[in-house]
Structure 1
Amino acid sequence: MSALHPPTFEWVGPSDDPNDEQFGDVVEPTTLDSADEYDVTLVGEPYDGGVIGRTGAKDGPAAIRVALAGLKTHHFDAGPVARVGDLGTVTLPTGDVRAVQRAVRSVAASVHETTSVPVFVGGDNSLTYANVSPLLADSLGVINLDAHLDVREQRHGATSGTPYRQLLEAGLDAYACLGARHFETSTRYHEYVRERDGAVVTAEEVGDDPVAAADRALDAMGDVDRLYLSLDCDVLDATAAPGVSAPTPGGLTTRECFRLLHHLASDDRLAGFEVVECAPPLDRDGLTVAAAARAIAHVVCALGGDGS
């Protein structure tokens, strides 16, 4: 059985300037019993057993925490972030991907029962199914920032390429992929999404107008009661995020990605966020880790900025 291991990372900001409030100064270890005291809580998921391609995402949570600790808390529009809780790291069982998904789902369900919005720090995309499925009892939509649609058939079991097919088959009400890349998806999988009234917004459309692209994804959510947001780091261009399983050209810039995330996370229906497929062993100069940490910062600020 999977469980949450208490936080072991020491949240300390590296700057010695007393005016530099950093995430290391505002993130605090917490437990499920105390999670309601925070607008946002972090959950580490160090797993890459479902990856199609190059592994390394299991090292994402530790590296992202280090990078996040050193970021300043101030956002020019939203003000500094409020306190953030760290629930620790999921202890993962052995077994195939479906067994891991079942175990992680039980932890995610407990986290979703709190009033805090969880930020799952992955880890690979196969755990998206586990993170989202406890929310399916409600009217739910998912917006996936990703180069790929991840609706592959489960020919040999669940993988990082199957989570949205699993969710759609389990009753997901609305799905949109934001930042999809040409020549990265099979025609049949695009048809599968369209047949289910899903939306695909390409990287080019994001480049033309990020806010309009985000609004198109939100429009595809219809009147769902709750919204889940996922960032697969491979949505970023390979120059911005080399440390992913499948880096390719033609992706989003980090600035486009951050603008999308802040806009989407400002929707008051947001019930959860995740960052997946950040693989530090494959990274160059810490670019992907830095992007993943700043993505979390933008979402946290949208959820918990104090507006000062």
Structure 2
Amino acid sequence: MDSLKIYTQKDLLTLVNQRAGEQKLGEKVTVISSLDELKNSTASFVLLGIPEDIGVRANHGIAGAKTAWPVALKTLLNIQSNPFLQGEEILVLGHFEIAEPADQSVEGLRKKVAETDLLVFPVIEKIVAAGKIPIVIGGGHNNAAPLIWGSALALKQALNVVNIDAHADLRNPAEGRHSGNGFSYALQNGYLNAYRIFGLHQNYVNQALPAQIATNKKITVTYFEDLLQSKETITTNWLNFTDDLEEPCGLEIDLDSIENVLSSATSPSGFALNEIRKILLSNTKKYSYLHLCEGAITMEDGRNDQRTGKAIAYLVSDFIKALRPRI
């Protein structure tokens, strides 16, 4: 049965490479034994994994996104706990255990994604209602929908969301749930207010999307090709793009937007990792959540890149460092 596995301190310490005279993040992070303890935790950030790629496969993608979480977690736990980032600021909650559906057809996979939505959103709702900021590592971009859903319910209002992504993920919800329609699903159900896409690649814009963007005032796009031609820095363009985005808002980063990061849609063209780091470190908004998705360590087709875990750990630590003064 699908469930949330809540970690113990012992679980985390098995992942830490302890060294005399040093304190790693994993030795200082906090844990809880039940969701009811969230409100009493002094940690501001809650780390949570969704190691699945059912949504990616339901969107005709290549499996592999389920492999990012364990490596990213181990990498993050072995960062030094120091004045720049202290382990006590983070509560490591655990991860969702999601079984493969018996029906492996596209229809069966999409049915399973819809079931996973129902597993994820109540946990996100409890985290946000407790005044914490969830940092979720996926998993496919299908999980944006339950993140938005749970956050909106906790905050009692629709969210604004900005998505750094090469793809719009605005496919027809009537297809059934998958990684390519999380945002159109959230828009349709009223949990998503303004949706902004930063770095959308023109090569991935299907025939229906331009009209969809033009007719829906809730959707705003900055194309990656326009950023390439801009005289301003990526960070300046980002700040201009998000300056008037009102809170509460969520932050989505699809790792396929970063050049050469292993994913189902790995691309040689995209943001440099350091450009995304600059965006996070220059952040001036109190985002309600961070979602890092679609990255992989090992793909079903045999590709492998252990660096994905370190990339995710950098993004998580940068997000926390920038947001800390505003919470």
TM-score calculated relative to the size of structure 1: 0.86
1:229-308 to 2 correspondence within 5 Å?
229-238=251-260, 241=261, 243-264=262-283, 266-268=284-286, 270-282=287-299, 284-304=304-324
Runs of 4+ in 1 over 4 A off after TM superposition: 204-208
Instruction: Name the CA shift for 1:194/1:72 in 2 (closer, same or farther; >3 Å).
Output: farther
Matched residues, number: 295
1:1-308 to 2 correspondence within 5 Å?
3-7=3-7, 9-11=11-13, 13-14=16-17, 16=19, 18=21, 20-30=22-32, 31-35=34-38, 36-51=41-56, 52=59, 53-73=61-81, 79-81=84-86, 83=88, 84-92=90-98, 94=101, 96-136=112-152, 137-171=156-190, 172-197=192-217, 198-204=219-225, 206=227, 208-219=232-243, 221=245, 224-238=246-260, 241=261, 243-264=262-283, 266-268=284-286, 270-282=287-299, 284-304=304-324
Equivalent position amino acid for 2:73 in 1: R
Instruction: Name the CA shift for 1:247/1:285 in 2 (closer, same or farther; >3 Å).
Output: closer
SS at match of 2:271: coil
Structure 2: distance between partners of 1:110 and 1:2: 18
Deviates more, 1:292-301 or 1:282-291: 282-291
SS at match of 1:150: coil
Bigger radius of gyration, 1 or 2? 2
Structure 1: distance between partners of 2:86 and 2:225: 31
Structure 2: distance between partners of 1:274 and 1:131: 8
Instruction: Name the CA shift for 1:173/1:72 in 2 (closer, same or farther; >3 Å).
Output: same
Alignment gaps of 5+ in structure 1: none
CA drift at 1:34 = 3.2
Alpha-carbon displacement from aligned partner over 1:42-93 (angstroms, at most 9, x marks no partner) = 1111111110311111122111101212223568xxx334521011112336
Structure 2: distance between partners of 1:92 and 1:113: 24
Equivalent position amino acid for 2:257 in 1: V
Deviates more, 1:99-108 or 1:206-215: 206-215
SS at match of 2:196: strand
More helix by share: 2
Asked which structure has the greater RCO (Cα within 8 Å, sep 6+), the reply is 1
Alignment gaps of 5+ in structure 2: 102-110
Deviates more, 1:97-106 or 1:115-124: 97-106
Instruction: Name the CA shift for 1:190/1:29 in 2 (closer, same or farther; >3 Å).
Output: farther
Alpha-carbon displacement from aligned partner over 1:200-241 (angstroms, at most 9, x marks no partner) = 1233555641222222331452xx330101111101012xx0
TM-score calculated relative to the size of structure 2: 0.81
Q: What fraction of aligned residue pairs are identical, expressed as a percent?
A: 21
